[in-house]
C-alpha cells in the first residue's frame, strides 16, 4: 500500500510534462562524477516553467536519496547575513542572534559541507535575477568555500553573465540550460491532462499560446471556464498580444466573485497567506475559498507564504487600480495598517524585521521614490560588477564619458502606481562637481564594494554608483571632501567617536553618487533600487546630499531626515544642498522610521479623501469646512480664522448647497467618514 506522500508525489509528477532533454541533462549532472561542470544555470522568460522544473529536480533527488536544498530569493533579504540566516534555517541549524555576519557565513558553509561528506548534494537558488548585488559576493565569497561534492543550480530569467562568463575558470564549471516554449507534442500532452481534446483544438492552443507554459495554463483554464471543450473557436483566439489578452479574458470569465475578490487583494502584497487576506479584506475567508486561490496554476508557495506569478500580478494590479479605485484605496489602507502592525507589535528576529520592512516599503513608498527606483522591471537584463584595481580603468572611462556631456541631464519618469509624471533634472554643473570631487583610485581603497558598475547584456557599463563606508579609515576623507564634509564637521565629539569603528564593520554609508545617465530605463533604476535596499538592511546610518528638490523629496519619502545646519555649497554657490540622514544604528530608530512612514500614509490617505469631497469649494470654504470637525460653534471657527460669525455662517450655507447637505451635522459626518 502506497503512502499519502507517495500518492501526492505521483499526482505532482502527472502534471509535469515535457522537458525530457533537461531531465536527462540534470541526471547526468548529478550522477556522472567525471563531469567537470558543477553549476547548472536554468534560464528563461517569466512563465516558462523554471520553478516547475526545479520541483521535478527535487523529486528526482528525493527518489535517489540525494539531499536537495532550495532557496527562493523572495524568502530572504539580499544581504550576506540574510542569505546565511535563511540557509541555516533551511538546514535546521539554530544560531545565536548576536552572531556576526562572518560567523553566520562560516557556520552555513560548514553545515553544507558536513552534509556533503558522504556523497553529492544539490543546492539550488530560484528567482536568481533578484540576487543582484549578491551575485559577485556569491561567486567570490561563498561558492569558493563549498565542497566539490556540492552541485549548484541557479535558476532565473537570464543566463549568468559578468564575472561568470568573463572568467575562463568559472565558465568551465557552468552548464547552461536555457528553457524554450513547449513543442507541439508537449502541448498535446499538457492539454490531455484536462480532458480528451481533438487535434484541431490542440493545434489552435499551440498556435495561439506559442507553447508558453503559463499562457497555455491560462488558456486551458479559460477553456474550462467557458465550457468550450474545444468545440468552437472563441473570438480571443485571433488576438495578437497572447499572454496579456488571454490573461485578461481569463479574469473576465471568472464567475466566482469571491475568487476574484481574493485575486484583487493579493495584488496589494508581495507575499500572502490566509491571515493577511482576511485582514486586508476585513472579513473571514473559508478554508475552501483560500484553497481555491492557492491551487491556481499561477500561484506558488514560498517559505513565507504564497505569491502570484509576477507577470500576472502586474497585469491584474494595474487593471484593478484603474477600474475599482475606491475599493483599491480601501484595500491599500488596510494592507498598510496590517503590515505596520506586523512590524511594530510582534517580537521577531532581525531578518524577519528586515523582511517586514521591505514589504512595508514596497506598499507605502513615496511617489517620487517609486518613480525613480521601484518598478516591476521583470525583463531587466543587467548585472552589477564591483570595481577594483583590475577594472578601475573601465569605471574611470565612465566618469570621462559623463563629463564629456555638455548638457543638463533631464529625464521624464512615471510613478508605476499613479502614473504621475516626474521630471528628474541634474544641472551639468552639479554633475561635474559629483564626478570631479573624488578619485576612484582613492575611494576603492576605503572598502570592498565602494564603487560598482551597472552593466547590460553586452557587458557595457551603463550606470555607476558610489557608497562610501563610514569607519575609522574613511573619516579623514569624509571630513575633507567638499561634498561629504558638511555633515561630519557638524558632529559633536561624542557622535564622531561612534563612527570610529573597524573597516570590516562600517557605522554606515555615505550615498555619494548614483548615476544612470547612460541608461535611464525603469529596469536600470530597478537594479539600483534593489541594491539600495540592501544597504538599508545592513543597519547603521545612511547619509545623502543633493541640491535638487526632486531627489530631496524622494529620500524624505522613505524616511530620511534633514539635518539642520548642514546645508553646504559643495556643488557650487548657486546650488545649496542640505544633508539628509537615515539612522538605523538602533532598533528603536528603525521603528521610529516605520512610524513616520505609516503616519505619512495616514495623512496622505486622509488628504486625498478630503480632496475628493471638497474639490468644488473655494480655499476659504475648505478651511471653514475642515474646522467643523473640531470646533463646536460658528463663533469658535470665526475666532480661529479672524472672521465675523456672520461670514462663517454665509460660507457654511454655500458649502451645504455645493455639497448637497442639509446642515453641519451631515457635513461633519461626511468629512469624518
- Cell numbers linked to 461: 557599463
Q: Are 555 and 544 in contact (CB under 8 A)?
A: yes
- Half-sphere exposure (Cβ direction) of 469: Cα atoms closer than 13 Å: 22
Would you state the pLDDT for residue 605?
54
Q: What is the pLDDT of residue 604?
A: 54
Place of cell 481574493: 262
**pLDDT tens per residue across span 569-617:** 999 999 999 999 988 777 666 777 777 777 766 655 555 566 667 777 8
Place 377 in a pLDDT band, splitting at 50, 70 and 90: very low
**pTM: predicted TM-score of the whole model, two decimal places:** 0.66
Higher pLDDT, 39 or 410: 39
Q: Say if CB 266 and CB 294 are below 8 A apart.
A: no
pLDDT tens digits, residue range 466-508? 999 999 999 999 999 999 999 999 899 999 999 999 988 899 9
pLDDT, average across residues 545-569:
86
Q: What is the mean pLDDT of the chain?
A: 81
Give the whole-angstrom CA distance, residue 171 versus residue 161: 10
Q: Quick one: pLDDT at residue 635?
A: 87
CB neighbours (10 Å) of residue 119? 10
Report residue 614 as a C-alpha cell: 471638497
Among 70, 52, 43, 40, residue whose Cα is nearest residue 12: 52
Grid cell listed for 651: 460660507
DSSP string computed for 505-564: S-SEEEEEEEE-TT---HHHHHHHHHHHHHHHTT-EEEEEE-S-HHHHHHHHTTT-EEPT
How many whole angstroms separate alpha carbon 182 and alpha carbon 116?
Answer: 35
Beta strands in 573-618 (DSSP E): 579-584
- Write the pLDDT tens digit of every residue in 309-364: 776 777 777 777 777 778 888 888 888 888 888 777 655 677 777 788 778 877 77
Is residue 369 over pLDDT 60?
no
CA distances from 389 to 46, 161, 463 (A): 37, 20, 18
Q: How many CB atoms lie within 10 A of CB 81?
A: 21
Can you give the length of the chain in residues? 673
Residues 449, 424: Cα–Cα separation, whole Å: 27
Contact yes or no for 136/383 (Cβ under 8 A): no
Amino acid at each position: 500500500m502506497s503512502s499519502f506522500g507517495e500518492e501526492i508525489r505521483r499526482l505532482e509528477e502527472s502534471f509535469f510534462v515535457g522537458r525530457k532533454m533537461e531531465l536527462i541533462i540534470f541526471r547526468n549532472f548529478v550522477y556522472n562524477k567525471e563531469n567537470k561542470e558543477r553549476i547548472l544555470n536554468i534560464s528563461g522568460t517569466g512563465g516558462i516553467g523554471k520553478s516547475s522544473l526545479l520541483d521535478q529536480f527535487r523529486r528526482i533527488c528525493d527518489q535517489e536519496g540525494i539531499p536537495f536544498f532550495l532557496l527562493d530569493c523572495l524568502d530572504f533579504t539580499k544581504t550576506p547575513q540574510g542569505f546565511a540566516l535563511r540557509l541555516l534555517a533551511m538546514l535546521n541549524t539554530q544560531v545565536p542572534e548576536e552572531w556576526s555576519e562572518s560567523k553566520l557565513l562560516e557556520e552555513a558553509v560548514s553545515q553544507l559541507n558536513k552534509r556533503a561528506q558522504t556523497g553529492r548534494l544539490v543546492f539550488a537558488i530560484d528567482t536568481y535575477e533578484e540576487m543582484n548585488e549578491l551575485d559577485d559576493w556569491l561567486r567570490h565569497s561563498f561558492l569558493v568555500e563549498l565542497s566539490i561534492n556540492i552541485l549548484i543550480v541557479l535558476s532565473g530569467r537570464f543566463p549568468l553573465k559578468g564575472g561568470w562568463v568573463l572568467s575562463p575558470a568559472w565558465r568551465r564549471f557552468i552548464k547552461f540550460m536555457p528553457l524554450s516554449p513547449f513543442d507541439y507534442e508537449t502541448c498535446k500532452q499538457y492539454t490531455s491532462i484536462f480532458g480528451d481534446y481533438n487535434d484541431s483544438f490542440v493545434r489552435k492552443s499551440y498556435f495561439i499560446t506559442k507553447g508558453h507554459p503559463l499562457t497555455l495554463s491560462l488558456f486551458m483554464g479559460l477553456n474550462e471556464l467557458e465550457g468550450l471543450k474545444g468545440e468552437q473557436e472563441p473570438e480571443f483566439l485571433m488576438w495578437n498580444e497572447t499572454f496579456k489578452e488571454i490573461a485578461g479574458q481569463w479574469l473576465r470569465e471568472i464567475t466566482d466573485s469571491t475568487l476574484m475578490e481574493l485575486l484583487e487583494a493579493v495584488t496589494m502584497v508581495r507575499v500572502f497567506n490566509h491571515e493577511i487576506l482576511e485582514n486586508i479584506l476585513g472579513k473571514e475567508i473559508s478554508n475552501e475559498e483560500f484553497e481555491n486561490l492557492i491551487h491556481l496554476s499561477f500561484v506558488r508557495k514560498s517559505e513565507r507564504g504564497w505569491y502570484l506569478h509576477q507577470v500576472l500580478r502586474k497585469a491584474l494590479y494595474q487593471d484593478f487600480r484603474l477600474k475599482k479605485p475606491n475599493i483599491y484605496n480601501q484595500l491599500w489602507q488596510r494592507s498598510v495598517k496590517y503590515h505596520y502592525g506586523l512590524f511594530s507589535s510582534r517580537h521577531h528576529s532581525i531578518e524577519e524585521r528586515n523582511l517586514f520592512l521591505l514589504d512595508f516599503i514596497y506598499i507605502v513608498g513615496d511617489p517620487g521614490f517609486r518613480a525613480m527606483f521601484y518598478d516591476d522591471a521583470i525583463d531587466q537584463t543587467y548585472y552589477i560588477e564591483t570595481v577594483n584595481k583590475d577594472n578601475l580603468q573601465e569605471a574611470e572611462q565612465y566618469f570621462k564619458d559623463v563629463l564629456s556631456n555638455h548638457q543638463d541631464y533631464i529625464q521624464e519618469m512615471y510613478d508605476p502606481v499613479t502614473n504621475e509624471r516626474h521630471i528628474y533634472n541634474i544641472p551639468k554643473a552639479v554633475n561635474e562637481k559629483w564626478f570631479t570631487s573624488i578619485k576612484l583610485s582613492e575611494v576603492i581603497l576605503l572598502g570592498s564594494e565602494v564603487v560598482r558598475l551597472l552593466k547590460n547584456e553586452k557587458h557595457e557599463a551603463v550606470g555607476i554608483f558610489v557608497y562610501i563606508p563610514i569607519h575609522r579609515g574613511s573619516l579623514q576623507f569624509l571630513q575633507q571632501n567638499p561634498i561629504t564634509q558638511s555633515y561630519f564637521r557638524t558632529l559633536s565629539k561624542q557622535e564622531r567617536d561612534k563612527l570610529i569603528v573597524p573597516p570590516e564593520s562600517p557605522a554606515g554609508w555615505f550615498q555619494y553618487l548614483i548615476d544612470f545617465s547612460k541608461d535611464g530605463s525603469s529596469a536600470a533604476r530597478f537594479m539600483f533600487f534593489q541594491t539600495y535596499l540592501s544597504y538599508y538592511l545592513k543597519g547603521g546610518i545612511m547619509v545623502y546630499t543633493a541640491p535638487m528638490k526632486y531627489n530631496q523629496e524622494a529620500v524624505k519619502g522613505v524616511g530620511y531626515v534633514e539635518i539642520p545646519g548642514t546645508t553646504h555649497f559643495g556643488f557650487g554657490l548657486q546650488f545649496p544642498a542640505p544633508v539628509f540622514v537615515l539612522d538605523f544604528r538602533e532598533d528603536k530608530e528603525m521603528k521610529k522610521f516605520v512610524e513616520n512612514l505609516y503616519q505619512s500614509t495616514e495623512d496622505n490617505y486622509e488628504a486625498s479623501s478630503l480632496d475628493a469631497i471638497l474639490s468644488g469649494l473655494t480655499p476659504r470654504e475648505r478651511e471653514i469646512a475642515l474646522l467643523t470637525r473640531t470646533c463646536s460653534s460658528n463663533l469658535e471657527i470665526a475666532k480661529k480664522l479672524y472672521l465675523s460669525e456672520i461670514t462663517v455662517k454665509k460660507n457654511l450655507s454655500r458649502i451645504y448647497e455645493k455639497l448637497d447637505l442639509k446642515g453641519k451635522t451631515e457635513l461633519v459626518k461626511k468629512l469624518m467618514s
